[in-house]
Every structure is written in C-alpha cells, then in structure tokens.
Amino acid sequence: MALALYRQYRPATFAEVVGQEHVTAPLIQAITAGRINHAYLFSGPRGCGKTSSARILARSLNCEQGPTPTPCGVCDSCRGLAPDGGGTLDVIEIDAASHGGVDDARELRERAHYAPVSSRYKVYIVDEAHMVTTQGFNALLKLVEEPPDFLVFVFATTEPDKVLTTIRSR
C-alpha cells in the first residue's frame, strides 16, 4: 500500500519545517529560554503545517533530553511522537470537527487534571479548533486560563476568527 506524500514527508523537527520560520523561530526561542506557554493557537490554511508543528512542539517538550528545540529522536517519547510513531499517552489529539461539543469539553476538562503518565507535559492538540462550540469553549475556559503546570494546549485552526475571543486572548 502506498504511503500518502504528506505522511511520507511530514517534518519531525522544527528544522525540517519549510517556509514557516515565523512560527518555528519563536517556538525554538521559547523552548530554549524555558518560557513554555500553557496555550498556543496555530492558524493558517489547510496543509500549512499546523498539526505537524503542534506534534513537533509536543515532541520537543517531552523529549527526555529537554525540553529542547531539537528532540533526540531515540527516547521513548520521541519515537512515539515521530511521524511514523504510535503516539504516547500524554499527547492527546482531538478532532474538534467530531468532538467539539460541551460534553466532549467537559470530559477533556476532567481528564486534564491527571498528571502525565510518562512525560514531562500532557499536551492536548485540538485540531479544527474553530469547530468547538461556544458552550464547549466556555467549559474549557477556566482550564485554559489556570491550567496545571504540566498541561499545554495547542489549538490548530483554519479560521481563527471562529475561536472564542476569550480563548484567542490567552
């Protein structure tokens, strides 16, 4: 079976992300300085690398050598979060197009308070974040404003104007 090109050439490090230096440079600088934010909003057109960048950020934060802007690629976390890896329990990807309701947000909120299983950070990547309902965002608001130290949110969207203003401002 043939592998889709976007999967075959998906970047594994910030250095491999092409044409997005305005995104990767501040992320690298923040990781290097130890100034990890608890929430990020990645926006742009379909296929520009929002989800890939979110995965690389999660990999960089949870690498056993880090947090580091250049993940080692050999530790369990790096291997699990590699483009061909099976994932980790501490990096949770949510497709908001099908899980954007208030009940989904409440379930996320309940689970988010549990410490990471084997990593430094628990990272929630909310793809298609513009599809989260207003009630869903409201259910997440307090958690996004005052998260546990180990929790990082990455909201990825093609339509940032549809993300609740109070979430965008965080």
pLDDT tens digit sequence for 17-41: 988 899 999 999 999 999 999 999 9
- In this predicted structure, the answer to whether residue 7 has a pLDDT above a threshold of 90 is no
φ, ψ for residue 41 (rounded to 5)? -120, 110
- In this predicted structure, the answer to whether residue 166 has a pLDDT above a threshold of 90 is no
Q: Which residues contact 7 (CB under 8 A, 6 or more apart)?
A: 83, 84
Confidence of residue 43 (pLDDT cuts 50, 70, 90): very high
Tokens of 53: 């960048």
Mean pLDDT of the chain: 91
Tokens of 41: 């909003």
- In this predicted structure, the answer to whether residue 1 has a pLDDT above a threshold of 80 is no
Q: Are 125 and 93 in contact (CB under 8 A)?
A: yes
pTM of the model: 0.91
Q: Give me the mean pLDDT over the 57-69 stretch.
A: 95
Eight-class DSSP state of 146:
S
Q: How much of the chain exceeds pLDDT 90, in percent?
A: 77
Q: What pLDDT is stored for residue 127 in this prediction?
A: 96
Hey, what's the torsion of the CAs at 127, 37, 13, 156, to 10 degrees? Answer: 20
Measured distance between the N- and C-terminal CA atoms of the chain, rounded to whole angstroms? 43
Q: Give me the mean pLDDT over the 95-115 stretch.
A: 92
Confidence of residue 96 (pLDDT cuts 50, 70, 90): very high
CA distance 106 to 135: 10
- The superfamily (CATH) of domain 37-168 is P-loop containing nucleotide triphosphate hydrolases (3.40.50.300)
Q: What pLDDT is stored for residue 3 in this prediction?
A: 58
Q: Are 44 and 132 in contact (CB under 8 A)?
A: no
β-sheet bridge partners, residue 151? 122
